[in-house]
Amino acid sequence: MGQQSDRPDAQHRRPPGVSDETIAALGKLSEALECVERARGHLYSLHQLIGHADLMLDDAVEQFHAAGHHQIAERIATELRGRNVIAGRWTFQIVEDFDDGYHAVFREVDQHARDELVGGRRHLYEAEMKERRRSRGRPGHEARPVSGG
């Protein structure tokens, strides 16, 4: 393996003149964005689970009617099935508001900080951590993927 291939690629190397403090701050911002991305995934899970539960209520209504419990069936059909999860909103509206608002702004701020400070490069904090932690020259510890021949 050549000397050059045992280094991170250019997109994972710190530009000249960028301080440790800047790399740490960008790393913290990236970590926070990753948390928001995980929360977004949970929000989509909520969206799908609530939607599935609402569709299951059709069967519950039918089964309560079949069992002769018409008042319970009607209460489910009129008070619960199709109900807003939050005032005026089904979960798709919550997801859209989140995506178009908080999530979009968070991603834009993260991108702007990286563009302005390190030419848009991502995961520099992690790339430098990898360099500190890997055992150079050992299989499975390469700086980057080895090109196939």
Report yes or no on 146 lying in a domain: no
Residue 143 belongs to some domain of the structure: no
Give the Cα separation of 35 and 149 in Å (integer).
38
Per-residue pLDDT of the chain (149 residues; tens, 9 = 90+): 455 678 899 999 999 999 999 999 999 999 999 999 999 999 999 999 999 999 999 999 999 999 999 999 999 999 999 999 999 999 999 999 999 999 999 999 999 999 999 999 999 999 999 999 999 989 999 999 877 54
Q: Is residue 15 part of a domain?
A: no
Q: Residue 123 gets which letter from DSSP?
A: -
* Residues contacting residue 58 through CB under 8 Å, at least 6 positions apart: 81
The three-state secondary structure class of 86 is: strand
- Which contacts (CB < 8 Å, 24+ apart) does range 25-32 have? 26/113, 26/114, 26/117, 26/118, 26/124, 26/125, 27/124, 27/125, 27/126, 29/109, 29/110, 29/113, 30/110, 30/122, 30/123, 30/125, 32/106
Structural domain span for residue 72: 20-133
106/124 Cα distance (integer angstroms):
19
> Three-state DSSP class for 22?
helix
Tell whether 9 is covered by a domain.
no
Specify the length of the chain in residues.
149
If one counts the domains in the chain, the total is 1
Q: With respect to residue 97, please indicate whether it lies within any of the assigned structural domains.
A: yes
pTM of the model: 0.84
**What values do phi and psi take at 86, rounded to 5?**
-130, 150
